[in-house]
Structure 1
């Protein structure tokens, strides 16, 4: 998400003096899983099989700190907050001949807040710690999210390769696909199609293995405690949590391979919001506010690029994918990627992306009936389809007539499809036995 003109800063209000129109209380939230989600126990060794984080009593949970971090990232993009965790220097270690760097964000955007009298709106709400001088307590607190229904699903999965971010890949992180300049913006992940295959048939050298996950439809519940928020802050927080119709968050492991998509709903009937200054001036029956929901900001307040990235149906525009290690070795240096993950020149990135979306054939989908061509592969058969260079594995190859020539057209049913694992198809019938007819 592109950076704005810089944070709007002000003094930390503190918690000692209550606002006349401040809001405090509890927002009760429900998190619905859209694509397989796992929040792992980071105490496990890297070579172990990961399982969902649990309490000492065995309850499946998502840590409140993870929820807060996810929410803060969206809130910072919404209010154009500072970027305290952005890396502007990076050393590639022994494999790199020189370190890579980006211009200091302090000169261009204000990297972090370092004074209680000069805080961005995100730090005023979520708090910040900078050195020994700037300590500001957060005015919101997230409880752990507890699984209430729908899982976890016990299924051993070898995840597609997950690698750590590489800031030295300038084509991804540089504003114009080059090093030494300003970073391109804030990093978020696209939502994949719900049917995206995130697992491999067998593990690789770099793949991680999980033992369970929360499946589509699983529900978690958690609370957000707020303290003396202004009407504007409350409205921004509600929008950040709930977003809007058709938009979702990303959480947990495997965001780049389609995992972790979720939506949050605030349950009004289980939430209790009040004006703290009036709390001791009125009877308990009338102390709670009924108008707090009215402060939610509209969808139009979200940055346009953020709105596009958070779309749950983004995959309708085309196949969602990110470059891997082999892509970088194939000569993509100094070419930025556009919003669809395709490589192109910087000034034509958006146009190039749209052309790819408009001209490309509709992606092959699991469950699709499609025509293709048969080709002999030893004792087996494979299939090829228009608009897709991958060879599909014909799972019922023994049902293909022995006299079938290479290139024969046939009908197939797609049983599996993923960008990395490939396509698996079930042969239905021969359309003709001549490639030229």
Structure 2
């Protein structure tokens, strides 16, 4: 029997023309791309074909498995502290604007007695990445060894690290998607998320699946399908997995960027911070502790009593960061003032994400350095009173040439209104008011 030899053009054409990729074709193309046998331009073409033609559940499952198999898989099943096994649990967000939840959440879970091996990512498209945010802390490094990850899980209860040899195929594909217009694809999102998360070896996984304008998938139906797909992928690998659908029509919190989001996370860890950031942190913590089998711990208490802050500081110090250093802020700024008094109306999350990207917080080319100090401070959130002439947004960047394009993205994406009707009664035609949807929409799994 003659073994069939695959080639990239044949695989690309198959998906381009709407055919289902066989398991063997998927295994070959992922392995070949990982080891340099398929060029970036060829994988870019295949990703665009997948973006346009989609994948069925079987293809997504095989693509995910092949990416997991492209590297090593961590195992913390023997993790013990004081003679007791330490449950491990992780969380992943599908990407949002102002979504800094991982930073306080990991510390909260660690303070409650579980361990979080968080293989985090960098910015993708208009959304920020946890690693880019944390690396704005002077000295912080995400490039830590497996030995250090294990040690931190035992001593601190958390490690936030670059995926390294976990699903290396995904790392290469992730960077390509960021700059080739192929981010907003359900099969590619699901397989990217789950390949990294299943390879990191956590006992359980909670997914924060975003819904709305600032999410990669805009409709609730698409987000539900994504959530169900990822939950199915996790369960198929023997990992208890749960998804929470959360709103991303308006930005989370009052800060969007890298260092500016770390600063807001510190406010949350200090017992303050924006209500929506605190609410989502606590809700996801409850879900994670439930899957980890930890009862009787109040995650909100860890924010009030400072134990979560202590864990975060210990994590930063363990990974080389200076917990006392001043966080960077862009050396050039521009402030948008309220044209009149009234009530803050809508703030479009997608426009805000693109504004921050224009300021330098995201990438236009693979491997490009981001500006740690680029970002936007939101002075008035939807529903808050506004006085004429007061600041609504302050934009920061180290490159003043970026300000006009950023201001152009922001223009027309927000409003000041006389008043907005009560939640639940806003007609669809009243676009100057924010869409009405609860922060926590549903739970799947």
Fold in common (TM above 0.5): no
Which structure has the larger Rg? 1
Q: Give the number of the structure whose residues are more often strand, by fraction.
A: 1
TM-score class, shorter: under 0.3
Name the TM-score, length of structure 2 as normaliser: 0.23
Name the TM-score, length of structure 1 as normaliser: 0.23
Q: Give the number of the structure whose residues are more often helix, by fraction.
A: 2
